[in-house]
Structure 1
């Protein structure tokens, strides 16, 4: 075979290989999208009624706040090491499936308990085992496309669409079957989602020994690198460290509001409104997520992150003063937009500023900061809401204002 023929043959092989990889990647996008849509249907059904369920079982407002504290404290502790393990083993789908199935299992058990303390314990365990999903999920999405804003925007739209469907379904199921059956159905859907995730085809990658692992040690420089230095310390330095601090502050405000919002909506507008209001937030996120992601790719993550922080302040301020349920539906739409802006812009910021070999850890640290904010926020929210819901909602402007000022210093 001549030299020219060899070059042509090699070119054809490379083209065939690229097409094969593209087909596999597209197939993985579809499988993950279907699985995450179903998972978020389950999340959307169950989450808004956890606080309501606690109140039905006799919990105080402070204990309702502890429900979020327990979940997010354990998530904060375990997300980073699970991200480390995902990077170390090159396994994304296994950790996603394990986390989703674990959350489903504990929801099923919740359907059969009879005390608020039992629900609190189960929610704590959900935080431990469910945290396996989040960093691997974010890292896998970032690896499906080089356009970080667009791919996160696409999945946020899909997942929020699922969450919206779950919100509306949950409202109907509670009305006809009760809260316990709602948790049972949610758990079964999460098992279905976990099974679908396992159909994803991952590229084989070399595995390292995990002996001697230190909790916050970095993953690898390449597929065969050894553990050396600390990715955690590197990620928390400079502008990235400042960025993570702002995320923590924003999530304090988020935890203050959302840890008690279900109870507030139920007491102010009726039980039917809980799922509907959350559903409208999810609808807004689903409709705008992909397009906002494309805008982030074009104009940069920082400016949209600043808009998102301002959106939090405006939404929580309006929730505090508006009493007409139809106007609240409009506020819910605004609130959904600010949420998807936050997720898209922060995920894109990490993807654009953290190298691939540490991306799951970077995403894990992002999610850990969000969870940590939801440890502090609900403690404040539960206490202040015992005095006045309005006082609690208005006080969220303090951490949000500080976060906005600090975010202005981030490089564009």
Structure 2
């Protein structure tokens, strides 16, 4: 065959292969987005009512805080081993499905709990087994596009839309069928999500060496990231170390507020308001997530991260002083925007500051700081809210103010 014809045939093959890859990628985006939309519907139904439910079973506010502590502590510990297994096997969807299914099983079991202690045990087990979801989920999303801000913004919008729908459904279900029914329905939805996620087509990557713990990867372009002490020491030095400290402080305040706020909303505005307020937060995140991600790609993450911290300060201060339920919905909208700003800007900041060979560790450390903040924050929130919810909410301004002052020193 003449060389010219070989070149033409080769070119056609390459175009066909590119189109096939594009179709598979779009299919994977669709099924992952649909599966996570339904999964987040379930999370949006169940999470806001966990504290309310345990209070109904006779729990103290400290016990309510411990629900978040137990979940986030075990999640922090087990995310890395599950990330290692996911990378070493080249399997993403299996670990996503396992995490979602585990969450569904334990939510369904919560519907039959007879004491706060039983709920706490089930929540702890959710943290252990459900942690297989996060590393594989983040890695698979990052492998679907090279534009970190845009792709994470897209999935943040989809997932927050699902969470919002779940918030409103949970509000309705709690009013008509009771709180226990929420957890049963959440379990059913999560099992449906598992079925959808398993329809994703993964490219076989072969088994990898197990000599080092593999963390969540930003891509699989022939490189591997292992847990190396030197890399983590480098990440924790200088401007990145300062950045991770600010994230920890912000998440301490977040855990301090959100671990107890459902109980506050239920007492102040009625049980129906819990899902509705969280729903408005999720609506704001869903509407703005993708567009804010694109702005971050265009103008850089630092200024948006500063704006996010300022949004936390404003939202938590207003939650402490606003007593009108209709005005509180406006506060909730602001709160939803600051949340999606935080997720998009911090992910993009790490992606831009950490070299490719260590980016997985950088993302893993970001997740760790967020989880650790939600270990410390609920302990503070559980104690202070036992004195006064307003004292707890105002108390969040201390770590947030310090985080803002430190973040001002971050370079662009």
Q: TM-score, normalised by structure 2?
A: 0.94
Matched, 1:349 2:373: no
CA pair 53-228 structure 1, distance change in 2 beyond 3 A: closer
Distance 1:287 1:227, change over 3 A: closer
1:214: how far off? 5.5
Post-superposition offset of 1:105: 0.7
Q: How far is 1:235 from its partner?
A: 3.5
- Encode CA deviations 1:232-261: one digit per residue, 9 max, x unaligned: 444434333322221111000000100010
- Determine the structure 2 residue equivalent to 1:393: 393
The equivalent of 2:191 in structure 1 is 191
Tell me the residue number matched to 2:128: 128
Between the aligned partners of 1:226 and 1:149, the Cα distance in structure 2 is 21
The reply to whether residue 239 of structure 1 matches residue 236 of structure 2 is no
1:34 aligns with 2:21: no
**Which residue does 1:25 correspond to in 2?**
25
Q: Which stretch shifts more, 147-156 or 328-337? A: 147-156
Q: What's the RMSD between the two structures over aligned residues?
A: 2.2
Q: For 1:366 and 1:110, locate their aligned partners in 2 and report how far apart those are by CA, in whole Å.
A: 30
State the secondary structure of the residue aligned to 2:112.
coil
Alignment of 1:4-403 (within 5 A): 4-210=4-210, 212-213=211-212, 223=222, 229-230=228-229, 231-355=231-355, 358-403=358-403
Deviation at 1:354, TM superposition (A): 3.9
- Summarize deviations over 1:40-80 as a string: whole Å, max 9, x none: 00000000000000100101111111111111111111112
Q: Shift of the alpha carbon at 1:215?
A: 8.9
For structure 2, the 5+ residue unaligned runs are none
How far apart, in 2, do the equivalents of 1:110 and 1:361 lie?
34
* Contact 2:75 2:371 survives alignment (8 Å): yes
Give the 3-state SS of the residue equivalent to 2:364 in structure 1: helix
Q: 1:328 to 1:220 in 2, by over 3 A?
A: closer
- SS in structure 2 at match of 1:153: helix
CA contact (8 A) 1:222 1:357 kept: no
* CA–CA separation in structure 2 for the residues paired with 1:366 and 1:215: 16
CA distance in 2, matches of 1:228, 1:115: 40
- Are 1:100 and 1:130, in contact at CA under 8 Å, matched by a contact in 2? yes
Secondary structure of the residue that 2:260 maps to in structure 1? Answer: helix
Q: How far did 1:216 drift?
A: 8.1
- Seen in structure 2, the aligned counterparts of structure 1 residues 198 and 237 have a Cα distance that, compared at 3 Å, is farther
When residues 258 and 407 of structure 1 are mapped into structure 2, their CA distance, relative to the original with a 3 A threshold, is same
Cα distance in 1, alignment partners of residues 239 and 27 from structure 2: 36
Output the CA distance in 2 between the equivalents of 1:129 and 1:107. 12
Contact 1:86 1:360 in 2 (8 A): no
Match of 1:208, SS state, is coil
TM-score by length of 1: 0.94
On the 8 A contact 1:92/1:136 being kept in 2, the answer is yes
Distance change (3 Å), C-alpha of 1:359 and 1:196: farther
Which has the higher mean CA deviation after the structures are superposed, 360-369 or 250-259? Answer: 360-369
Number of paired residues?
Answer: 411
Question: Contact between 1:220 and 1:227, CA under 8 Å: does it hold in 2?
Answer: no
- Shift of the 157–228 alpha-carbon distance from structure 1 to 2, 3 Å rule, reads closer
Q: Aligned equivalents of 1:302 and 1:173: distance in 2?
A: 41
Post-superposition offset of 1:81: 2.5
Q: CA deviation at 1:36?
A: 0.4
- The whole-number CA distance in structure 1 between the counterparts of 2:145 and 2:37 is 19
**Structure 1 residues not aligned, in runs of 5+:** none
